[in-house]
Amino acid sequence: MTERHMRFLVSMLLSVVVVGCASGPQANPQDPFEPFNRRVDAFNQAIDKAALKPIAETYVEATPQVVQTGVSNFFDNLEDAWSTVNAALQLRPKEAVSNGARVLVNSTVGVVGLIDWATPMGIPRSKHDLGQTLGRWGAPMGPYVVLPLLGPSTLRDTAGLVLISGNPALAQVDDVSTRNTLRVIGALDTRASLLQATNALDSIALDKYSFTRTVFLKRRELATQSMFSDPPKADQADSDDPADW
């Protein structure tokens, strides 16, 4: 999916959510579009069960661990670069410098990010995205939204997707086929990293939709701080383990 198509999809979804979903008296105040969101979630679950999860499981089983680690490190390095930009926009110089140092170290001696030398060197990472940046400057989180294929989001985070589709670092790759291949690999790596968490979710949640909504909104609240707050702790905002939720 190209950036133009992604932005069109998200824009159309926002229009449908705003004009096509009525909230009833029993609606969760954070999820006024719940009927629509549940339909999108059911669609996402069907796609995941039919294709995404089996592919991710095959990838984990068939790919050597050293290769998986290298792939994860590569995309973590791209995320660190984007976090550096957002930390600077949020006026968090300490986090911006730290993430920037990670990118410098891992992009050079770490061979374009395939090897994570920054972590054993004691250089911490913190995740910062455009949704957090908008919140840092006062934009409200808005209602809960479930995006096709992309999953849980909020109106503010979705607006961030419209402004900048995906990680801008990948947008700098000129060759379209290479750029799209990297995006597919990145999505596969992300899904593979969530296998343990989603398997745990399947086993413990009576209503996966409500559980996921509660956890997601809590994490976004922890990850988005006001101008005068300390940044979120990594173990609070970044954990993918349901035991930590």
Residue 22 falls within a domain, yes or no?
A: no
In this model, does residue 40 exceed pLDDT 90? Answer: yes
Residue 59 falls within a domain, yes or no?
A: yes
Q: How many domains does the chain have?
A: 1
As a whole number, mean pLDDT of residues 49-77 equals: 96
Calculate Rg over the CA atoms of the chain: 18
Residue 23 falls within a domain, yes or no?
A: no
Residue 55's domain comprises: 3-17+30-244
The Cα–Cα gap between 86 and 82 comes to 6
pLDDT-derived band at 159, boundaries 50, 70, 90: confident
Q: How far is CA 94 from CA 61, 85, 87, 103, 125, in A?
A: 39, 12, 8, 14, 11
171-211: per-residue pLDDT in tens? 778 788 988 899 999 999 999 999 988 888 888 767 899 99
Higher pLDDT: 230 or 52? It is: 52
pLDDT-derived band at 223, boundaries 50, 70, 90: confident
Q: pTM of the predicted model, to two decimals? A: 0.79
Residue 24 falls within a domain, yes or no?
A: no
Residue 67 falls within a domain, yes or no?
A: yes
